[in-house]
Structure 1
Amino acid sequence: MTEQSVWRFTDDRRQLTTAQRRPTRVLAYVQAGATLWDYGIRPEGIFGSGHDGAAPDRAKTGTLPLDTVDYRGAGDALDVDTLLRGDPDLVVAVSYGHGQIYGLDPDTAKHLEERVPVVVVDVGQARTLDRVAERFAELALALGGTRDPGADGELAAARERLRGVVGARPDRPRVVALSPAGPEQVHIARPAMWPELRVLAELGVALVAPDEGPGVNWSTDGWDRAAALSPGIVLTDIRSNAVPLDGIDDPAWAAARQGAHIVPWNPEPLCSPQALARFLHLVADAVEAVRAV
C-alpha cells in the first residue's frame, strides 16, 4: 500500500483521519447524511439529536432514501453499540463550534471515536453557509461522490432571482424567522446568528430581528411580541420538535398572520447547492406573492 493510496481527510477540528482504503459504510448525523446524499453518497445509517424522536425527522432528511438508510435513533436511545450496529467504517458528525460533536452525549462520542474514525464538519454561526457547503463538498468528493453538473448554476440562478425579486424597493416585505414553542411561547430567530438567514440578508431580504435580550440564537417571547414585528413573510421551523404553526390561535398572532405568507424553514439546513437553491426559490415565491396582493 503506497502512501498515496491511503485515504485521508482533515476535519474542522484539524484532526486528520486516515484509512487504508476509502470509507464506504458511512454513519452520519442526519443533516450531514442528507447533504452527502446530494453528492451521491448513500450513508448506511443516520442518527438524530436530542430534538428528534424514534423516527427520522422528514424536515431534515431531504431526499435520502429512508427505505435503505438505517435510522439509529436519537438522544438517550443512542449508545455506542446502537451506533455501530451497521458496522460503519466512518462517522460524519457536525459541530456548532469548539469541536464538540452535536447530538451525542460526550461520553458516547468519546467511546465512539475509540472504535471508529469520526470526521466533524463545523456548521456553527461563525461560518458562512458557503464555507459549510464547501466543506461538505470536499468531504463528499473525498468519499467518491460527484458534483451535480447543474447544481452550481441552479444556485447562482436562484440567488439572482431572489436578489432581483427583492430589488432595492423601499416596500420590501418584513421577514421573521421563528420556531413555535407552544400556544404561549415562540422562539424568534436572531437573523445574524444563522448562516442561511445571513444569505437572505446579503441578497436584500428584509429580515426583522427581535429586541435585544437573553438568548444567543433565539429570543423566547409571547406570540404578541412576534405579532408586533408585523411580518409579511414568516419562515417557520418545520422540524418535528417545533409546534405546527397552524395550531397557534393567539389572537394577536392570528391577526398578524392573516396577511403573511408562510415559508417552511429547517434551521438545520442541507448544505448542498441544490438544497439552498430550493430554499431561495421558496423565499422568492413568497416575496412575489406578497407583492401580488
Structure 2
Amino acid sequence: MGADASGWEFTDDRGAALRLPRRPRRVVAYVRAGAALLDLGVVPVAVYGSGHDGDGLDPVKAGELGATGVPYLGPGRLLDGDPSGALGAVRADLVVDVTYDGKSGYALDEAVAEGLGVPMVALSVGGEVTLARILERFGGLGAGLLGAASAPEAPGSVAEAEMALASAAASGRRPVVLALSGAGPEQVHLARPQAWPELARMVELGVRIVEPGPGAGASWLTADWERAAELRPDVVLVDSRANAVWPEGSEAYPEVWRAVVGGSRVVPWNPETPPSAVAFGRFFREVAAALG
C-alpha cells in the first residue's frame, strides 16, 4: 500500500491488489466503513447501507457521519450501475466495503461498482480476525487515503480503554456479561462471544461474557427470552441498531425484558461498531464503567 510518483496501491483482505494512477479523493463507503474512515480523518463523499438498513441512515451505525452531513444513498443492494443513479451521480473513484467471508463485499455487489468503472476494496471484520488486526487494516487504509505514512493518533487510545476494561473485570466478583439482539417478544438472538472480534477481545481481557449454549447459528443462538433469563447476567450488552426488534406496545415484552435484566446494568452495543480506535475505545470505556 502507498502513494508515490507511480500512483496509489492497496491490497485488500480478499487479496485483491489495486493499483491506481493517483490517490483516490472521492470515496464512497458502506456506512460502517465510512464512519471508521471519518474517525481517521477521511471524509467520504457518500455512504450506503446494508440489507438491514432502510431509506434513512441508522444513527447508531453512522458514528459522526450524520453530524458531518455525509449523504446516505440507501441500501447498497438497491444501488445500480446507472451513471445517472444515486451511486453514479457522486462520481466516486473508490468504494470501500467490508467482508465477512474474505471473498466478497458485504453490502454492495462489486459488479455494480465495476459497471461504473469504480474500483472496490473490502476489509475483513469477521470473527476469524482479531480486533487489533481490524483496526490496523482500517488505520492503514485511512493513512493511505490521506497520503500519510501512518494512521493519525486517536484521542484516548484503545490500549488505554483496554487497560480500564481489564482492571474493571479483575476487581471483586467477576460480573456475568450477556450480549444480545432483540427479535421480538418471543425470540432473542444471544451472541456467541468468539464470533465477534470486540467480544472475543473482551474475553481475552478477563471479561466474563457468557456463551449461550449449543444450537444452530455461528454468530448467534436464537432462543426464547427464558433462556436469556436463565443465564442470569449482571451486565447486558444490547444491540442498539435500528434493525434490532423492540416491539413497543407489546404487553408481553416488558415482562420478558424485566426477567432478563432484573437488576442488571444495560450497555448499548452496536455489533457494527465503526472499526476505529475512537469508536471501540468509547465502547470499551462504557463497558468498563458498567463492570465497575
Superposed pair shares fold, TM > 0.5: yes
Letter aligned with residue 241 of structure 2: R
Contact persistence 2:184–2:253 (CA under 8 A): no
Q: Which amino acid aligns with 2:157?
A: E
- Who is 1:161 aligned against? 164
Measure, in 2, the Cα distance between the counterparts of 1:246 and 1:229: 24
Deviation at 1:17, TM superposition (A): 1.1
**Are 1:91 and 2:92 an aligned pair?**
no
Given candidates 176, 179, 186, the residue that maps to 2:178 is 176
Q: Secondary structure at the match of 1:136?
A: helix
Identical-pair percentage: 45
* Distance in structure 1 (CA, Å) of the matches to 2:59 and 2:4: 41
Q: Residues 168 and 286 from structure 1, CA distance in 2 versus in 1: closer, same or farther, beyond 3 angstroms?
A: closer
> Which residue of the other structure, out of 268, 275, 281, is the alignment partner of 1:277?
281
**Is 2:168–2:288's contact at 8 Å kept on the other side of the alignment?**
yes
- Of the three residues 235, 258, 268, the one matched with 1:254 is 258
Distance 1:222 1:279 in 2: 27
Q: Describe the shift of the 1:3–1:176 C-alpha distance in structure 2 as closer, same or farther (beyond 3 A).
A: closer
- CA 1:36 to 1:75, structure 2 compared with 1: closer, same or farther past 3 Å? closer
The CA deviation string for residues 143-200 of structure 1, in whole angstroms up to 9 with x for no partner, is 016644353x53222111111111164x211100000011111000011111010111
Q: Distance in 1 between matches of 2:236 and 2:211?
A: 12
State the 1:131 CA deviation. Answer: 0.3
Instruction: Identify if the C-alpha distance between structure 1 residues 252 and 71 changes in structure 2 by more than 3 Å, giving closer, same or farther.
Output: closer
Over aligned residues, Cα RMSD in angstroms?
Answer: 2.0
**What secondary structure sits across from 1:101 in the alignment?**
coil
Contact residue 175 and residue 208 of structure 2 kept, 8 A: yes
Q: Equivalent residue of 1:27, what SS?
A: strand
Structure 1 residue aligned with 2:32: 31
Q: Which residue of 2 aligns with 1:101?
A: 105
Compute the displacement of 1:77 (Å). Answer: 2.8
1-side partners of 2:49 and 2:15: how far apart? 24
Residue of structure 2 equivalent to 1:268 = 272
* Change beyond 3 A, Cα 1:281–1:72: same
Q: Using the TM superposition, give the Cα deviation of residue 76 of structure 1 relative to its aligned residue in structure 2, in angstroms.
A: 4.8
SS at match of 2:146: coil
Aligned to 2:50: 49
Counterpart amino acid of 1:258? Answer: G
Instruction: Name the residue aligned to 1:120.
Output: 122
Structure 1 pair 102–165 and aligned structure 2 pair: CA distance change class (3 A) = same
**Residues 185, 247 of structure 2: 8 Å contact kept:** no
Q: CA deviation at 1:245?
A: 8.2
SS of the residue aligned with 1:182? coil
Q: Is the 8 A contact 2:13 2:102 kept in 1?
A: no
**What is residue 153 of structure 2 aligned with on the other side?**
149
How far the C-alpha of 1:252 sits from its partner, in A, is 4.6
CA distance in 1, matches of 2:262, 2:147: 45
Instruction: Pick closer, same or farther for the CA change 1:238–1:180 going to 2, 3 Å.
Output: same
Q: Distance in 1 between matches of 2:154 and 2:114?
A: 36
Normalising by structure 1, what TM-score? Answer: 0.90
**Which residues of structure 1 form unaligned runs of 5+?**
289-293
Q: CA deviation at 1:226?
A: 0.7
Contact 2:225-2:260 at 8 Å conserved across structures: no
CA contact (8 A) 1:123 1:132 kept: yes
Whole-angstrom distance in 2 between the partners of 1:157 and 1:131: 17
Going from structure 1 to structure 2, the CA distance change for 1:9 and 1:261 (only over 3 Å counts) comes to same
Letter in 2 for 1:277: G
In 2, the alpha carbon distance for the partners of 1:72 and 1:139 equals: 22
